Structure 1
Amino acid sequence: MELDERKLKILAAIVEAYINTGEPVGSKTVCSMLDFPVSSATVRNEMAALSELGILEQPHTSSGRVPSYQGYRIYIDRLMDIKPLTETEKNEIDALFNVKDPDPDKLLQDACEALAQFTSCATVTTTLTPHDAVINRIEIMKAGRTTAVVLVMASNGVVKSKVCRVGFQLSYDVLDFFVKFVNDRFKNRTLENITLAFIETLLVSLGEYSVVFSPLLVSIYEICREIEEGNFILGGQTNLLAYRELNDHAHELFTFLNNRKMLTSLIDSSLNDMVKVILGKEAEQYELEDLGVVVAKYKIGRMDGGAIGVIGPVRIDYSRLIPHLRYFADTLGRLLADTIESQNDQP
């Protein structure tokens, strides 16, 4: 059945009222929101028809109506009025970023936490590592007699480090030799080509020193794998406890949110779109049935950088959230691009 204009306007009014209150919406409330005269009886008849179509639901016999997932989808795809951000709203988002911190990992962490605070929802940030990402530089710094810090910098701006213990007393001469050795062999090599077989080849070339330097090479390999895997940052999970409709299955929800593989799969499935709304039941995960997920991907220069998502109750204000998230993602991508460019300019 094709919905006429009156049914669509009534559906929009119900969705918007439910987003604001979280309570079932009655006919009198709908009448007060419409821009044309109509009686409560007529609205009730239309609400009943929308319920028969599965677009509205009635939680209790005497209560008003709430949108079904089908109703939300119609609203998001056809009825939602998204307004561009004002300069004041853009300035508020700009102020959330710690632009003075040059570390991309820290920038992503700060962005995730700021967005969680801004939206009162949970947030997740993922990064994509380009297939052509290469090693820019490796540094190894003495931290103790037998302890070193291994630092790997990649062309996509990611910098990761790991503490490594060795079976001999470190000297600056030995470190200088090894740093030159690994940079000669790793620099400009793509991450996907840094395999265990490659590490074994390097160990063979070290001859009698292979046992000595093995822990350092293994640490470099592990860091390269972490960089290639990308980042996953989750924040604001406790914000979801403020929504009473999520309290009954909070444990299952939190378990899902902390499952990196499942949540990353959900977020990454949205990367074909600049902004995508996933309604809980569409994700085919029972833990998400009462949730809405809005995902925006961001670019670093011309490269796909990753995605940032907001997870909240299914009644979150999509019309407000989508433009804010889009601008947030664009700002994040621009700042990351500036950070990476400044790092690549370093000698």
Structure 2
Amino acid sequence: MSATADTTTVEGTEQTEIAVPGETQQHLDQSNLSDVDLSSSPTKVDRASPAQQRAAEHVESPGDGTGKSDFSLPDTEVQARSTVPVAARLQSFATWGMTKVKCARQSMNERFGKVTKTVDTQMTERIESLREAQRNYVQIMNLAKKLSTQLRGFLETQRNLGDIFSEYGVRVTETDLQAELLRGGTVQRTVARTGDALVASLDHFVSSIGTLISKTMEDTFAKVHEYEAMRVQYDAFRIDVEQLQTFCDGNPANTAKQAKLEAALVAFETQKELFTVVRNELNVKLKFLDENKITVMQKQLVLLHNATSGFFTGDIEVLERCLKSYHIRRLDLATALPTSTEVKSTLQELPMNNGTGHSIDEF
């Protein structure tokens, strides 16, 4: 096969036409060479770099199958919806900040006596009564705890004394002295065992009063703090309304201040409703606390009095009833509680003389 080449000049530029056989021409026609524009550059074809080709393919190709580019911006409506929560949060933060500033200013002015504050005489008296009751209950609890600690140490010393009596009574050779030492050891240990019931009653008394103080009263005091903070906030908005009202009365033509006064009245009404709700909740809590603290203290005092009298009189039945009322098991005691028969037999063994016919008065 042979091919001829003709050279022509178009506008000062050489162009070469290549003659090809028919088969080769047909093969080229079947290819997509007809889409290639060779007229723009007769001698040189600009080729893009591989990186540029990939970037072009990425921009032209749909990102998610919807025909939109991956780099397409959100719609205007979507942007508007996304900015609404941010604006609302900013507005809420600004309102919160202004409220805190007003409350701080109100507190300082109240401290220096520059403004008046709302006073609920009945509520104030009830709160002061609650604080006084808490101080008294704390003092009672601390003294009962101290008594329990001292009594526990006393009983431990009493046990040690009884053990020494029994140990020495075994070694002593004098028969009369040995009997008294052994009997004295038995008495000391028996009394100490009854004392464990009183210690357990004291511990339960301290625990019950501590729960009343640390949980029930503290929950009410949390509501008291909320009430006081809401009262300061209510007064802060009230003072703003009063100041704007005074200014508008002297300048009725000031429309800007009139608009601020209307907005301040709306905010004041909102704070008034919140303040009323908190005050009603505090009233309910104070009422329930008054009933609860009286019931708890009365029950605990009765049980403690019975346990104390039962310990000093040696009445084991009273101590057992107290333990049952306190829901204290015998196994929870430091030592087993003696029975009534055991206590009576121990006390009956104490003679009025030394066992040799000598009266106690003779000593």
Higher helix share: 2
Larger radius of gyration: 2
Superposition TM-score, scaled by structure 2 size = 0.20
More strand by percentage: 1
- The normalised TM-score by structure 1 is 0.20
